[in-house]
Amino acid sequence: MPFDNVRQWLLSARETIGAAAVSPEFYLQLGLILLCALAAWASRALFRARFDVSSMAMGWPGRLRRFMRALVGSAPIAVFAVLVSLLGILIRGTALGGSAWLLLAAAQLALTWLAIRLVTSAIRDPLLVSLVSLLAWCVALLGILGQLQSVSAALDSVAIVLGGLRLSPLLVIKLVVLMGLALWASKLLSQFLESRITRSSDLTPSMQVLLIKLTHVVLMVLAVVLVLSAVGINLSALAIFSGAVGVGLGLGLQKIVSNFVSGVILLVDKSVKPGDLVSVGDSTGRISAMNTRYVSIAAGDGRAILIPNEDLVTQKVVNWTYSDTNALVKVRFGATYDADPRHVCQLAVSVAAATEQVSDSNSPVCLLTEFGDNGMLFALSFWIADPSGMDATRSAVMAALWAAFRRESIRMPYPMREVRMAAPLPADVATGGPR
């Protein structure tokens, strides 16, 4: 449609619509539309009774729950669109007459409304919701007036050629819209699959994380490839451009790529997994999440320590729960020489065994390790089932050991110094007087 004839086209469209509005076919189609609206309104109670979104989407991600709620809530709109479309096709194919333009227009408006509700259900930005709604209503209006092809041809008439790629405003609009829809759909599908994978008891935590990451990457790449093919972009035309971009990204994003590859290696070799208690340098805590670039470690004091995946591959990592969740705890203490070392060891073992957090699978052991300057030194060893409670259990055992020593009159050693004079001091020095 030439842009200088817009005024003439609007005038002719007004005359056409005015002539159709006074025909009997118009009122027949309007009555059928009202009947379809009543049938759709009656089906709302049926869908609410048959589909309980709260129980059906329990455990799903929040965005997917909102989409399912919008899908079930928009079921009457879909029923209305289907009924109106079927009646329009039936009227056009019979001798009832007319082109059924009002029925088809109502069906197109209903489908546009349905698409807007479903797409915007997962969008939280009000500006983006308004933009998507405006674009959808404009396309629907052009389709109803029969000018969508003309506008598309006008947008496609202006283009620039880059190598073997022809870029036009129509191609850019199609690419942006379809890419947004494809990435949105892949995000919803990946979240749904993620919820299913995390609830599978047959998969280890590291395998769950690996499958989730692979699912995200595969769905995203598949969405991009399908959209490029749908808009008519030949992937071979982007070979030179993608090669140059790949070299630039490879030089500028070495650390990001290294962390991504290191994350895949950690998931495959299962050296660390979510829930493990690890120590990396001065940082100790449980792994709460394994992401593409880093591993999140909960320190236990409210902090989340983010360690790059590359550091877990190249540095020394202490995994307290790699092969066994039990951990050995050692408590070193002393006693004065007037105590019986055998009695001290028996008392320490009984105190450790009576502590609630100490494991019963291995008996505590107390050894005399050294005769020190101020007393005898001992080492008490015992096992606990949860390494994260190591400090608390050690403190509880030491407090109980102190109480037992007080009860048994066993003294803890402390530094003592004894000064002996080889000869008596003169009288004036002893009294502080002059010599």
Contact 331, 347 (CB under 8 A): no
Q: How far, CA to CA in Å, does 172 sit from each of 148, 232, 287, 391?
A: 16, 11, 43, 61
- Of all residues in the chain, the percent with pLDDT exceeding 90 is 11
**Within a domain: 89:** yes
pLDDT band at 3 (very low <50, low <70, confident <90, very high): very low
Q: How far, CA to CA in Å, does 299 sit from each of 311, 318, 319, 387, 388?
A: 17, 15, 14, 13, 10
Tell me the three state secondary structure of residue 277: strand
DSSP designation for 251:
H
Query: Sheet harboring 327-335: ordered strands across?
Result: 327-335, 376-384, 365-371
Q: Which pLDDT score, from 0 to 100, does residue 290 have?
A: 83
For the cut 50, the answer to whether the pLDDT of residue 95 exceeds it is no
CATH number at residue 310: 2.30.30.60
CATH number at residue 381: 3.30.70.100
pLDDT band at 294 (very low <50, low <70, confident <90, very high): confident
19 plus 104 within the same structural domain: yes
**Within a domain: 417:** no
Domain boundary among 319, 350, 375: 319
31 plus 123 within the same structural domain: yes
194 plus 71 within the same structural domain: no
The mean per-residue pLDDT over the stretch 257-286 comes to 81
Closest CA to 367 of 375, 357, 356, 377: 377
**Within a domain: 390:** yes
342 plus 294 within the same structural domain: no
pTM of the model: 0.50
68 plus 148 within the same structural domain: yes
Please report which residue ranges of 277-340 form alpha helices under DSSP H. 309-314
Q: Which pLDDT score, from 0 to 100, does residue 280 have?
A: 85
The mean per-residue pLDDT over the stretch 2-31 comes to 58
Domain of 23, in residue numbers: 3-157
**Within a domain: 14:** yes
Q: Which pLDDT score, from 0 to 100, does residue 8 have?
A: 56
The mean predicted confidence, pLDDT, of the chain is 76
The radius of gyration of the chain from alpha carbons, rounded to an integer in Å, stands at: 39
11 plus 136 within the same structural domain: yes
149 plus 55 within the same structural domain: yes
DSSP designation for 425:
P
Q: How many domains does the chain have?
A: 4
The mean per-residue pLDDT over the stretch 224-233 comes to 79
